[in-house]
């Protein structure tokens, strides 16, 4: 069974998480950083390396809707990234509502006793884990309801 990759796409970072081989749990892998928003060549190259290393068959990309459900500029940039990712990898890239994942990631790390600097360092990776886990949990529930 192929693994699923979760991505939290930000203006200068991409948090990366992958599922376990059974598609039950998500683990953080790394944060791909870039110097400016439009410098994506290295980012795509690194994501492609990780796809190969982890035998990824599907990608889930956090979709940053506004709290009221509207779609802003970040949604447009995310859709552009989704299209480029699908072209480059040949894999399906699902969008997943990521509202509150960064907040939840920050809160979880604060509750674990991590200071502000440590939280800032890891929040994108943890957000990717929450995006992927939410997607996998929803797929599992859908499977249960279909039977």
Q: pLDDT, tens digit, for every residue of 39-71?
A: 899 999 999 999 999 999 999 999 988 778 888
Domain boundaries, the chain: 3-146
Instruction: State whether residue 32 is helix, strand or coil.
Output: strand
- What's the pTM value of the predicted model, to 2 decimals? 0.88
**The CATH number of domain 3-146, selected from 3.40.50.620, 3.30.420.140, 3.30.930.10, 3.40.50.920:** 3.30.420.140
- Residues 33 and 93: their CA atoms lie apart, in Å, by 20
Strand order in the sheet with 93-97: 26-33, 13-19, 3-9, 56-63, 93-97
Across 56-60, 68-72, 94-98, 129-133, the highest mean pLDDT is recorded for 56-60
For residue 56, list its beta bridge partners: 3
């Amino acid at each position: 069974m192929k693994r699923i990759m979760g991505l939290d796409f930000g203006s200068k970072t991409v948090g990366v998480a992958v599922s376990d081989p059974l598609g039950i749990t998500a683990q953080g892998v790394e944060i791909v950083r870039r110097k400016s928003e439009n410098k994506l060549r290295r980012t795509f190259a690194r994501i492609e390396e990780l796809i190969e290393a982890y035998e990824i068959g599907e990608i889930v990309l956090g979709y940053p809707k506004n709290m009221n459900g509207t779609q802003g500029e970040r949604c447009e940039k995310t859709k552009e990234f989704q299209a480029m990712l699908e072209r480059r990898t040949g894999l399906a890239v699902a969008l997943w509502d990521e509202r509150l994942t960064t907040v939840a990631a920050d809160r979880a790390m604060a509750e674990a006793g991590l200071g502000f600097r440590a939280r800032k360092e890891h929040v994108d990776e943890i957000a990717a884990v929450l995006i992927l886990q939410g997607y996998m949990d929803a797929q599992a529930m859908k499977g249960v309801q279909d039977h």
